[in-house]
Amino acid sequence: MVARRSLARRTPAAPLTTPLQPPRKPASVLRIRPERLGARAEIHLPARAPRRDDSNFRTAPVASTDSVSAFDPLGRKVEFGNGSTHTQVVYGPGGGKLALMNDQTLVKARVPLPSGGAATYTSSGLAFYSHVDWLGSARFFSILAAVLCVFARAHAQSATPSTSTLRLENYGWQILPPGEYYEHLGAHSRNLWIDHSGRVLVGFTVRENSGLATRQHPGHSLHILRFTPEGKMDLSLVLPTNNWYNNGFYLGPDDQILARANDLLQWFLPDDLEKGGGTWQPLAACPRDCFVRQSFSRRTLILRVEPPTGGPDRSTYTILDTSSTPRVVRTCSQMASYGGHITDRFAYWMNYDRDDGLMVRFPFCDLDHYEDFPRLVRGTSGYVLDDATLLKIGFTHDGPVYLELLGLDGQVRFSRRMPKHEFINPYDIATDRNHDRFAIMVNTVRGAHSRLDIGGNLVARRVVVYSEAGEEVASIPVDTRYHRDSDFSMSPDGHRLAILDEGVVTVVNLEQH
């Protein structure tokens, strides 16, 4: 209080003879009721030149002295204008400014991209892309001509193929029960193939009755159906079996049908091709813990039967030749890499347990003699298509992200890296007989952080077909949910692809080479 009085005494009073200045007249304001327009509009007539938003969302002086602004209920400017020109502001889902419009005509738009950059559009279309660094600053721009070139190339690589569907519920298909968490479901088998005539073969298991199962009447049956390229069923086979989960079938090089059911591997010997009649010939035992591996030529099958609990410590391997009349060639108790990667002559061990970590191959049933491949990169993973070709799946700290077609001499025939957030499912592929086309499953995962050990969310899955040059031939989206009967297969000539999922077969007609 003392300071204030002292200050007041030091301040001279204004002379009474000085006339009082009239207060500054505010700008004229016209207000419109929100209930009529759904927004608040103001018309300002200031004495000095106002500033308005330009197409870069910044303020700039205008020559006119009249300006109009409209605001939405959130207080955001949604329209401004000068004279007869009015511009509307479009806001994106995040609340930020997205575009400027003149009625229904686009003036300028800046659309954020997932990479952090932006795509700028004008009334004539896409203008350019801006690319940012890790600080968010735009460092360079790509023009429309380059974008159109890349888009045209990608479009030429992956044309939209024609598809058709087969609903197996019309043929007696039943959904597989999920099984309890403590229940041992055993080894899985294939249930989808395409033969040399382009016919689709599919198998599924049904429960025949709810009564007591016996050895003669096990209660389940494996159904194998064959469909012509026109979608007409021309073959139906039924085989009794004792469980839901371990049934399947395989095709030989001459389209012979070999079925796994009722703890046996059996061969269908046709005797009436017109009526689809024939008999089933048993080949080898294949119980619940029987793992079936087939070479990509379809000429060799290896059955690995794990020992029962408390039995011998080694598995039993049965080698079958299916090149003509299927027969058992040999049975032994040892196999390189447990028979996981085989051709018609060798068993391959991708990462041999030695200091060099190279891929090696062994003759069947022989672990004493091997041949290594020093030209291949260490830590190789993938599929041995034949004794001269390897389809490699490359891993980084994020996961399997690139695909390479290699010769066993190390020569790279093509290399393809997946886009960001996309990963290869390394557990199943399909190829034609000449290895000119390959089908793989690609998963799209968002929100993962490998360094923090944070798993992501699977947001999309698709089956992608590549040519031997690494070009994308087709991309078919599938359900993100995993089902035990999911499978896909390619025809020997590479012209057809079949995808099985939850009782529905999608047949894709690929463009010819």
> Is 356 within a domain?
no
* Total of domains in the chain: 3
pLDDT of residue 122: 84
Could you tell me which residue, 371 or 217, shows the higher pLDDT? 371
Let me know if residue 349 belongs to a domain.
Answer: no
- Looking at residues 464-471, what average pLDDT do you find? 90
| Whether residue 142 sits in one domain with residue 186 | no
In a domain? residue 3: no
Q: What is the pLDDT of residue 182?
A: 44
The tens digit of pLDDT for each residue in 101-154 reads 888 888 888 888 876 788 888 877 788 888 776 666 766 777 654 444 444 444
Residues 71 and 148 placed together within one structural domain of the fold: yes
Judge contact between 304 and 337, C-beta under 8 A: no
- Map 29-76 to HEC letters: EEECCHHHHCCEEEEEECCCCCEEECCCCCEEECCCCCEEEEECCCCC
As a three-state string, the secondary structure of 352-374 is CCCCCCCCEEEECCCCCCCEECC
Give the pLDDT of residue 153. Answer: 42
Same domain, 147 and 218: no
How far is CA 370 from each of CA 359, 410, 459, rounded to the nearest angstrom? 10, 18, 43
Q: For residue 373, is it within any domain?
A: no
Task: Verify that 190 and 329 share a domain, yes or no.
Answer: yes
327 and 197 within one domain = yes
Closest CA to 249 of 215, 315, 200, 183: 200
Residue 94 has phi, psi (to 5 degrees) of: -80, -5
Q: Clarify whether residues 311 and 389 are in a common domain.
A: no
Do 214 and 137 fall within a single domain? no
- What's the pLDDT at 96? 81
How far, in Å, CA of 259 to CA of 77, rounded? Answer: 70
Higher pLDDT, 177 or 468: 468
Q: What percent of the chain has pLDDT over 90?
A: 36
The residue among 41 and 379 whose pLDDT is bigger is 379
Q: Is the pLDDT of residue 494 over 80?
A: yes
**Tens digits of per-residue pLDDT, 295-310?**
999 999 999 998 876 5
Q: Across the chain, what does the average pLDDT equal?
A: 78
pLDDT in tens, 31-79: 444 444 444 444 444 444 444 444 444 444 444 445 678 888 878 888 8
Task: Choose between 73 and 206: higher pLDDT.
Answer: 206
Domain housing 471:
383-513
The answer to whether residue 368 is domain-embedded is: no
Mean pLDDT of 319-330: 94
Check whether residue 180 and residue 329 sit in a common domain. Answer: yes
Q: Would residue 433 count as lying in a domain?
A: yes
As a whole number, mean pLDDT of residues 484-499 equals: 93
